[in-house]
Structure 1
């Protein structure tokens, strides 16, 4: 459902839908905060969603939609809010586990210190003592020894349990991070993951002196296609293109959905020549297939892509590299689309057009 909403907001109907959302909020005296707008967007545009059902339930019961209620619904049903909640829950559990271990270690330390003091006192007291006094002292030490042993056993058991729990929490947090960095429609990395990866790749290239190349990709005439066949079929096309781009981006290459119908591929340690080879292979595969509409099996025709490629120059920031690749992408579109262009950095690779 989030992908359908996202597609709707990129369609020509976006402003019309937005006005309907604001009208609905105003009629129910709901403040137009960003969170409330997102919730009521689901209510207006996705009537079969869980968010819409929750809002309907409140309205039908005569209740008032408050900001607090909106936050509760968002925490339960909106992906971003749920994700934040999962991170907070995992962090809270981790903190509680560490506090528990800290208390157990402190208790064991105090018991060990007391035991050491008892041993020192016993050593001094045993001098010139009779047998009864020695037996009493030995009994006291025996009790203290058992207590220390029990404390250590309890601590060992708790540490084992905590180690297991920390492993589970690390796995949970790793999964949450993967979810936060993954595009829900295509399963490629998302824009946030791309920004982080490009920043890291630029830093590594600057330190090593190795080349770094970036390709940005756009589905040709996607808006017309989307308006003609609908958003669900448009999403089908985006997923298909993403699957092809994903296959040419094995590690250390990095592919991401940059936004809408745009994608990006990072080529660490590679020059534009190899990037062009990869992107031309993807372009050829995508354009060679006649797609069919999944729901009706109608022929959708062939899809084509345009790409822009740029190599990072020493000292160049990630944003500047993106701008160079974007200019090359514009050159591909200006030259008729369905092609790959390389930014003006030295000689263009064979078979590729030159971007101004």
Structure 2
């Protein structure tokens, strides 16, 4: 949540912003779910922010604001707050664990020091002791001190073992939170934030190693028609279906993401545009072979087709430039009648 929105929600304007959020959602035909309400508060509280700009774009384009859209926006623009909260919570637990372990170590150190003093005293007593009773007293004192040190060490070992388990649990939990923050909730593919970071990393690696790198952008043909004809839930069903095919084809080291709305992107490390073109055509054919049915009524939805464009990275080229060229290839597929793959390298050769 931006500082601007936080300030507004803690001041006298909070109630007005909340009322406006409900009014705007009603005007846009969006249900006032908790997630939608949170998104609209951010949108109206900071319209020039990243989330505000994206929501403005979606609303102006007339795109349906579905549950999937809300989840995608939340995953992309709201996870930082959640992640920060999780990190703060984990930090508090870790601090408690460290404090407890420190106390246990300090106690064990004091016990060891006392044991050393007992040994020193016992040594002095033994030198002058000649009576069995005196010797028995020294041995008894040593036995008691040894038992106490062993107990303290056992407690410390148990505390350290428990802390190790707790730290491992925290690490696993935070890793899951990180994965959630980088995953599109509707399709389980990477979200746009994760894609942007991976594209930057992939371009840097390709430049350093002088390797081939290709990028594909994919769009579901006439997706708005599915939403308008069958409703948003059916549209989400179509999105999940296409994403499942893309996910099967895009095993590591390939990286697939839901880039926005009905658009997807795939990074192909070390693969040429011609090899990627063949993979995309196989994907396109698989998507078109299945006859989808509406879950609630079992009505046939008709053919689902996809269009795609692919571009191969040039030496020194940035991720944004590569993405622009892949987008140009995608638009060429749409202009050419859709349900096809356009290789941007062939476009450049023809030009």
Q: TM-score, normalised by structure 2?
A: 0.72
Where does structure 2 lack aligned partners over 5 or more consecutive residues? 1-12, 38-73
- Corresponding residue SS for 1:32: helix
- Call closer, same or farther: CA 1:148–1:288 in 2, change over 3 Å: same
- Are the aligned partners of 1:340 and 1:353 in contact in 2 as well (CA < 8 Å)? no
Residue 110 of structure 1 corresponds to which residue in structure 2?
Answer: 110
- Call closer, same or farther: CA 1:153–1:42 in 2, change over 3 Å: farther
Residue 235 of structure 1 corresponds to which residue in structure 2?
Answer: 236
Residue 32 of structure 1 corresponds to which residue in structure 2?
Answer: 17
Looking at structure 2, the residues matched to 173 and 100 of structure 1 have their Cα atoms a distance apart, in angstroms, of 22
- Corresponding residue SS for 1:338: coil
Q: CA RMSD in A?
A: 3.4
Residue 16 of structure 1 corresponds to which residue in structure 2?
Answer: none
Residue 23 of structure 1 corresponds to which residue in structure 2?
Answer: none
Spell out, residue by residue over 1:113-156, the C-alpha distance to the aligned partner (whole angstroms, 9 max, x if none). 33234434544554444446554444333332222111101011
How much does 1:87 deviate? Answer: 4.4
Residue 89 of structure 2 corresponds to which residue in structure 1?
Answer: 89
How much does 1:353 deviate? Answer: 9.2
Residue 45 of structure 1 corresponds to which residue in structure 2?
Answer: 30
Looking at structure 2, the residues matched to 190 and 299 of structure 1 have their Cα atoms a distance apart, in angstroms, of 30
Residue 339 of structure 1 corresponds to which residue in structure 2?
Answer: 340
More helix by share: 2
Residue 330 of structure 1 corresponds to which residue in structure 2?
Answer: 331
- Are the aligned partners of 1:331 and 1:341 in contact in 2 as well (CA < 8 Å)? yes
- 5 Å-filtered alignment, 1:36-75, equals 37=21, 41=25, 45-46=30-31, 49=33
- Corresponding residue SS for 2:292: strand
Out of 301-310 and 194-203, give the one that drifted further.
194-203
- Call closer, same or farther: CA 1:292–1:116 in 2, change over 3 Å: same
Where does structure 1 lack aligned partners over 5 or more consecutive residues? 1-27, 54-77
- Corresponding residue SS for 1:45: coil
How much does 1:257 deviate? Answer: 0.8
Residue 170 of structure 1 corresponds to which residue in structure 2?
Answer: 171
- 5 Å-filtered alignment, 1:77-156, equals 80=79, 85-123=85-123, 126-131=126-131, 134-156=135-157
Looking at structure 1, the residues matched to 24 and 118 of structure 2 have their Cα atoms a distance apart, in angstroms, of 70
Looking at structure 1, the residues matched to 167 and 140 of structure 2 have their Cα atoms a distance apart, in angstroms, of 40
Looking at structure 2, the residues matched to 249 and 38 of structure 1 have their Cα atoms a distance apart, in angstroms, of 40
Match status 1:159 vs 2:160: yes
How much does 1:229 deviate? Answer: 2.7
Looking at structure 1, the residues matched to 20 and 127 of structure 2 have their Cα atoms a distance apart, in angstroms, of 80
- Corresponding residue SS for 2:277: helix
Looking at structure 1, the residues matched to 244 and 234 of structure 2 have their Cα atoms a distance apart, in angstroms, of 15
Match status 1:279 vs 2:280: yes
- Corresponding residue SS for 1:213: strand
How much does 1:343 deviate? Answer: 2.7
Residue 290 of structure 1 corresponds to which residue in structure 2?
Answer: 291
Q: TM-score, normalised by structure 1?
A: 0.71
Spell out, residue by residue over 1:283-329, the C-alpha distance to the aligned partner (whole angstroms, 9 max, x if none). 11222333332222333221221212122233333223222222222
Higher relative contact order (CA 8 A, sep 6+): 2
- Corresponding residue SS for 1:265: strand
- Call closer, same or farther: CA 1:185–1:52 in 2, change over 3 Å: closer
Residue 260 of structure 2 corresponds to which residue in structure 1?
Answer: 259
- Are the aligned partners of 1:306 and 1:337 in contact in 2 as well (CA < 8 Å)? yes
Residue 25 of structure 1 corresponds to which residue in structure 2?
Answer: none
**Number of matched pairs:** 297
- Are the aligned partners of 2:274 and 2:343 in contact in 1 as well (CA < 8 Å)? no
